[in-house]
Amino acid sequence: MTDQTIVSYRIEHDTMGEVRVPSNRFWGAQTQRSLENFPIGIETMPREIIRAFGILKKAAALANLRLGTLDQDRATRIAAICDRILAGELDGEFPLSVWQTGSGTQSNMNANEVIAGMANRQGGAVIHPNDHVNRSQSSNDTFPTAMHIAAVTGIETRLLPALERMIGTLRDKEREHEGILKSGRTHLMDATPIAFSQEISAWRSMLEHDRDMICATLPPLRELALGGTAVGTGINAPKEFGALAAEEISALTGTKFVSADNKFHSLTSKDALVFSHGAFKALAADLMKIANDVRWLASGPRCGLGEIAIPENEPGSSIMPGKVNPTQCEAVTMIAVQVMGNDVSVGMAASQGNFQLNVFMPVLIYNYLQSLTLLADGMESFRLRCLSGMTAKREAMQSNLDRSLMLATALNPHVGYENAARVVKTAYAENITLKQAAAKLGIMDEETFDRCIDPKNMI
C-alpha cells in the first residue's frame, strides 16, 4: 500500500462562483482556476516577473497611500508581503503557466491574491485582492509594467555586468598577445598578415558596440504603462498615480523609471521590447562569430589550424581516448541560435496587438528573459572557462605566416598585380617560396624581395 499525502482544501470564491483551493496555499480562486484551466507545458511565469510584481505592487500601495486612496495599515501590510516576494520566500505561491491568458491577467491576480491572502491571515482590516492590492491598477497596465521592470533590472544587474567582464578579459588578452604576428584569413582562405592582438581587438570592439546598442534600448524600457489601467484612459486611477508609482518603483529598484506619456501606446505596443531584443540578437550574432573563430583557431591538435590553445575542461569523447573538444564555444553557439529563434517569437508576439491591448505578453517576456539569462550566463561561462585561459601558439602562427602566399600582396606596388599573381601561382604550383618564385621568373631579385616583404610592415 502506497502512502498518499492528504491535501485539505478551503473554499474561495470569485465572481464566477466557488473554487476549492489547497489549504496550505495563499492564492485564491482566480489563481486556482488558471492552474486548472491551463495545464500546458512546463514553462511557468519567470521569477523575474514575479519579483517585478512584488516591486510594482509595493510601489502601487505606497503611491495610493500618498494619494490618500489607501490607508496606512493596509499599505504597510501589502508592502511587507511584497518584501517577502522580493526575497524569494514565496516563489511556491506562483505556479502559473506561461501559456495562459495573453494579457497576463491571471498572473496579476496571482500576485493580488497571494498578497491579500497572506496579509489577511496575519489579522487586521480585510485586504481585498482587487479593491486594495490592485487599487488604481489593471492587469492591462501592470503586466506591461512588470515586463519593463524585469527587462531593465535584468539588463543592468545581469547582462551588462557580464558583458563588461568579457570585454575586460578580451582587453587583457590584447595586451598579453601584443606583437605576435599571424596570417589573416578571409573566405576561410589565407590573407595578408595581422597581429593576433588586432584579431582580438575586433572581438572586443564587437562587444563594446553591442553594449552600446543594448544601453540605447534602455530609455524606452524605462517608460511604464502603470496608470493607464484598462485601455489607457486611466479609469479608476487618480491622475497622479502613474507618476507617483514610477517614483516609488525607481526608489525600490535604484534605477530610473518614468510614467509613459502615452498610455494607449504603452498598453498595445511592445516595440520597446522588440528593439531591446534586437540588440540581444546583435550580441548573439557577435558571440557566434567569436566562438566560431576561437574553435577554428584552436582546432587540432594536429590536423587543424592549432594557432591557439584553450583550456581542456573535460574529456570530449566516449570512444576516442584523449580527445578534448571546444565545448564552451559550442555552448555559446547554441545560445546564439536560441536567442535568434527567440527574436522571431518576440517580434511575432509584438506584432499581434489588437486595438487597445497586446495579448501575447507572457510568451514575449518569457522568450525575452530567457535570452537575457542565457546571454549573461553564457558569456560568463565562456569568459571564465575558455577566454581567460586562451593563449597563442606562437610557433604555429609563425609557421603559417611564413608559408602564406598572400605575403605577395606587398609586391603589388613594386611589380604590379599581375606579376605578383604570377609569383604566387608559380610558388604554389612548384611548392617553392615566394622569394624563389620571384627570382626564377626574373621579376625581383632576392635582396629586393627581402626589402619589400616584411610582415611587420604589413599590419
**What's the average model confidence in pLDDT over 278-288?**
98
Characterize the bridge pairing of strands 258-259 and 223-224.
parallel
The reported pLDDT for the residue numbered 143 is: 98
Question: Does residue 147 contact residue 365 with C-beta atoms inside 8 Å?
Answer: yes
Residue 1, pLDDT > 70, answer no
The reported pLDDT for the residue numbered 7 is: 80
Residue-wise pLDDT for 65-74, tens only, equals 999 999 999 9
**What's the average model confidence in pLDDT over 307-332?**
96
Residue 6, pLDDT > 90, answer no
What is the grid cell recorded at 399? Answer: 609557421
Question: Which residues of 108-230 form beta strands (DSSP E)?
Answer: 181-186, 189-195, 223-224
The reported pLDDT for the residue numbered 272 is: 98
**What's the average model confidence in pLDDT over 239-254?**
98
pLDDT-derived band at 86 (thresholds 50, 70, 90) equals: very high
Mean per-residue pLDDT of the chain: 97
- Alpha-carbon torsion angle 184, 189, 190, 195, nearest 10: 10
Domain boundaries, the chain: 9-135, 141-224+264-394, 404-458
Rounded Cα gap, residues 22 and 12, in angstroms: 10
For 403, other C-beta atoms within 10 Å of its C-beta total 13
- Using CB atoms within 10 Å of the CB of residue 18, give its burial: 0 to 12 exposed, 13 to 18 middle, 19+ buried: exposed
Name the CATH architecture for the domain at 404-458. Answer: Orthogonal Bundle (1.10)
The reported pLDDT for the residue numbered 348 is: 98
Q: Where are the alpha helices (DSSP H) in 254-310?
A: 263-268, 271-297
Question: What CATH number labels 9-135?
Answer: 1.10.275.10
**What's the average model confidence in pLDDT over 263-272?**
98
**What's the average model confidence in pLDDT over 133-154?**
98
Maximum Cα–Cα distance for the chain, whole Å? 102
The reported pLDDT for the residue numbered 353 is: 87
Its sign, for the CA torsion 165, 168, 170, 173, is: negative
Residue 426, pLDDT > 60, answer yes
Rounded Cα gap, residues 275 and 218, in angstroms: 10
Rounded Cα gap, residues 193 and 235, in angstroms: 67
The reported pLDDT for the residue numbered 268 is: 97
SS3 of the chain: helix, strand, coil, percent, to 5: 60, 10, 30
Characterize the bridge pairing of strands 189-195 and 181-186.
antiparallel
Sequence-distant (≥ 6) Cβ neighbours of residue 414 within 8 angstroms: 444, 448, 452
Among the listed residues 316, 224, 301, 218, the one whose alpha carbon sits nearest the alpha carbon of residue 262: 224
Question: Does residue 266 contact residue 246 with C-beta atoms inside 8 Å?
Answer: no
The reported pLDDT for the residue numbered 148 is: 98
- Alpha-carbon torsion angle 428, 432, 435, 439, nearest 10: -100
Q: CATH fold of 141-224+264-394, please?
A: Fumarase C; Chain A, domain 2 (1.20.200)
Q: Do domains 9-135 and 404-458 have the same CATH topology?
A: no
Q: Which residues are known to be catalytic? A: 187, 317
**What's the average model confidence in pLDDT over 424-438?**
96
Q: CA Rg, the chain, in Å? A: 30
Q: How many helices (H) and strands (E) does the chain have?
A: 18, 8
Residue 2, pLDDT > 60, answer no
What is the grid cell recorded at 114? Answer: 497571494
Its sign, for the CA torsion 73, 76, 78, 81, is: negative
Compute the residue count for the chain. Answer: 459
Rounded Cα gap, residues 384 and 70, in angstroms: 50
